[in-house]
Structures are given as C-alpha cells and as structure tokens.
Amino acid sequence: MHTLAVMRSKRQTILLEILRTRPIRTQEAAVAILADEGIPTTQATLSRDFVALGVIKAPSGYQLPGMSSRNAAPPVSVEFFDTSVRRVEVGETIIVVRTPPAHADAVALRVDEISDPDLLGTIAGDDTVFVATRSPMAAKRLAAMLFGYEPSNERS
C-alpha cells in the first residue's frame, strides 16, 4: 500500500509540474508523458489524478484552474456565451443565467460539457439556467470565467 501512495504522489507531482507551465492536450498525451518519465499508468488512474488535483478541461487541453497561457484558447464557448447570455447573477452556490427564449437548454449543455470539480450540474428552463456549484467562491469563480461576471456589476 505504501508503494501505491508513493507512486501516486510521484505521478501527481509530475503532472503538477507540467500543468503549471502548459496545458496537456489529451489524456493520452498525459499517459505518454508519464510513461516517458518511467511511470506507466492507465487512463482511469490518470482521470482520478486529474480530479484529485482539481484539473479542468479547457479548449487548449487539461489545465489547473486559473492557469492560462497566452496562446491558450479562451474558456469554453466564450463567444457562444457572449451571444446567448443576457444576464448573470450569483446567489450563494447557484449561478442564475438569463438567456433569450429557447436558449437556456443550449447554454446548460455547454456548461455541462465543462470539466471542473466545483461544477455540480445545471437545470434549464426556457430562458433561465441554474448552475449548481460547490461553494459561493466557486460560483463567483465559474461565473467570472464563463460569463464575465463581476460581483459589483451584474451583467444585464
């Protein structure tokens, strides 16, 4: 058991070192990088490591929250959100997103595609999406990252 913990720690340390400098495009690439370091691993193990490290999936690849390179693509579907979101409000752990009529389902689907450990899920109506998050801090972070939300200046 001790050996497994040491291997997990070494694997996660290598992943963190890489992710602090650049995103990793795919999980297959991460498995290959680890293999080059002499640490064979499976995609399932890597996936658990990503969750444990709080790694998120962005268009540029897997990365640490808040990390972005100058050449990285913008957060998931920013252009889509710019045209499909009318107003954003944050209430504790819930982000309330107002859309034009019949757009809420598409917005919720795009949010659900995001891999972030603080994102619990969405509920969509016709013109409103509720985004459930783990904490008030996570709600503000995700609202800012996805929708350009600023606490003192709610988007209208």
83 pLDDT tier (thresholds 50, 70, 90): confident
The whole-model pTM stands at 0.50
pLDDT tens for each residue of 95-104: 999 999 988 8
Instruction: State how many domains the chain has.
Output: 2
Question: What is the percentage of the chain residues whose pLDDT exceeds 90?
Answer: 25
Q: Give residue 43's domain range.
A: 2-63
Residue 59, domain CATH: 1.10.10.10
Per-residue pLDDT, 1: 52
Residue 118, domain CATH: 3.30.1360.40
- Give phi and psi for 14, each to the nearest 5: -65, -45
Per-residue pLDDT, 6: 79
Under a CB-based contact definition with an 8 Å cutoff, are residues 74 and 140 in contact? no
Output the CA–CA distances (angstroms, integers) from residue 107 to 34, 49, 51, 77, in the order listed.
Answer: 36, 29, 24, 9
> CA-CA distance, 133 to 11, in Å (whole number)?
28
Specify whether 102 is located in the same domain as 131.
yes
Specify whether 92 is located in the same domain as 59.
no
Phi-psi region of 66 (alpha: psi -120 to 50; beta: other; left: phi over 0): left
